[in-house]
Amino acid sequence: MAEDAAWKFSKEKGVDMVAINPGMVIGPLLQPTLNTSAAAVLSLIKGVQTFPNATFGWVNVKDVANAHIQAFEIPSANDKPYVPTYQVSKEKARSLGIEFIPLDVSLKETVESLKEKRFVDF
């Protein structure tokens, strides 16, 4: 709803806009609390017996930050929504100059961050 209003405003006022809508953002945590994405990884680490019957797009927080920078710096990104995840079109990612951090690296960074923040103790 808010994004729709932003797109409408952008078109009416002639303001450049790019929407970046990541799915599950993993990697190092900046905040001392769990976010939804880190909580999902923590649940898996702790051996949750069930997981929601859903498909998640996972993306490293560094890739999301890079996507914001590239969307700002590359004029061809204007007026395009962008959802950075590991299942996004490689062409679309390349058009913004993005090379994704591999999922295994992102998960390792998430687990290391969960250890640092003392959410797990192994």
Q: Write down the domain spans for the chain.
A: 15-117
| pLDDT tens, position by position, 33-53 | 999 999 989 998 888 877 666
Question: Structure pTM?
Answer: 0.74
* Region of poorest pLDDT, from 40-54, 67-81, 98-112: 67-81
d(CA 109, CA 90) in angstroms, rounded, equals 23
* Region of poorest pLDDT, from 11-15, 58-62, 81-85, 87-91: 81-85
**For residue 118, what are its two tokens?**
């003392």
The pLDDT of residue 53: 62
CA 61 to chain centre: 6
> C-alpha dihedral over 22, 63, 108, 46, to 10 degrees?
-10
Single out the residue of 101, 75, 73, 71 nearest to residue 83, CA to CA: 71
Measured at the alpha carbon of residue 70, what is the angle toward residues 65 and 76, in degrees to the nearest 5? 145
User: What mean pLDDT value characterizes the chain?
Assistant: 83
**For residue 23, what are its two tokens?**
């799915």
d(CA 101, CA 76) in angstroms, rounded, equals 23
DSSP state of 80: E
In the predicted model, is pLDDT for residue 85 greater than 80?
Answer: no
114 neighbors 45 (Cβ within 8 angstroms):
yes
